[in-house]
Amino acid sequence: LRGRRARGGRAPPAERLRRPPPLVARAVRVPEAPGLGRPQEAVVLPRRRRPCRLRDLPRHAPHLHPAPVPRVRLPLDERQLVALAVYAILLMPGFLQVGYYYFFSSQVHRSIVYGEQPRNRLDLYIPKDNRRPCPVVAFVTGGAWIIGYKAWGALLGRRLAERGIIVACIDYRNFPQGRIGDMVSDASQGISFVCNNIASYGGDPNKIYLMGQSAGAHISACALMEQAVKESSGQPISWSVTQIKAYFGLSGGYNIHNLVDHFHQRGLNRSIFLSIMDGEESLSRYSPEIVVKESSARTIALLPHIFLMHGTDDYSIPSSARFVYAFCRCLFSKMKGKQYPPSLQIFLMLW
């Protein structure tokens, strides 16, 4: 080809330069068979065929292509339900262990009556070695003011009892059985029972700590502030705030005004939440942050050590440091120049 072009000739047509088709037969001579003096006859073997691939099929022949498998897409609610079911199955072994401990352990004293209402009950978790008076934790469980129950603190009670601490899980009326005023009253009555009777169960009345989680943190904080206001104003009380060594608030909401819209967006209807809080006019009364701002220096001086813990990624109740700042402002502004013992210390932990 190069020589013909150099001499000015015409190049062969393109059809002559193409390779022969891949299925052209080729002759192969088989070598002599051993023991025979003449070669065998040549046999014709077909060239191997390349396996047919899916991409080699023509696109205009849909009957040769496999039908696509449709993907099953569950609605969002069904996916959440399936995820919740899987989550519950994974947690089932732990639930069974805690449930067995709660119902069959001799260390658990269930449903001790502390008041006249149907939900006025508490559970006590007693350490095995209680020869000496043990520290006591009065725990108020959460549950969005609707599904709270004393058994929710079984795991906490078990772990603290293993470390020599008595735990009292206080039950209270939920909505619609009661509203926020009833819940605070029940919690205060349960704390009173612990303060006045825990010595008969092996507890140290001088080492009582108050703890609340989520809605229980809000209810216990309201009970603590309400009792401090009564005690500072000389009203009759059944237990003293000074009997509480420290308060621990876990993931609580302390300004109810800021939570109305948040809970409405999360699915708790505004009208239902206001009914739980006994109307919009009662939001300030049951907001510990606002109560602290309006309290006197004598009331603030009665409060114990306060530890607030909240996760920054908590979507059920958003974390906020305003409660701590309100305490600090009241502590330094109202107690300035007055001779009160510096017993109030506030710690905030965010994670």
| 32: helix, strand or coil | coil
Angle at 346 (CA atoms; ends 340, 347), nearest 5 degrees: 160
Q: How far is CA 20 from CA 23, 25, 43, 68, in A?
A: 8, 10, 21, 37
- Please state, in angstroms and rounded to a whole number, the distance separating the CA atoms of residues 196 and 192: 6
Chain center to CA of 119:
26
DSSP of 248-276, one letter per residue? Answer: EEES----GGGGHHHHHHHT--HHHHHHH
**Looking at residue 55, what DSSP letter applies?**
G
| Residue 171 annotated to the active site | no
Render the burial of 231-244: b for 16+ CB within 10 Å, e for the rest. Answer: bbeeeeeebebebb
The half-sphere exposure of 343 on its side-chain side, counting CA atoms within 13 A, is 18
Could you give the dihedral angle defined by the CA atoms of residues 112, 130, 306 and 148, in that order, rounded to the nearest 10 degrees? -30
Which residue among 214, 287, 295, 320 is the active-site one? 214
Q: Largest Cα–Cα distance in the chain?
A: 131
AA identity, residue 80: Q
Which residue among 111, 238, 314, 343 is the active-site one? 314
SS3 content of the chain, % helix, strand, coil (to 5): 40, 15, 40
Closest CA to 294 of 327, 320, 322: 327
| Residue 333 annotated to the active site | no
Positions marked catalytic:
214, 314
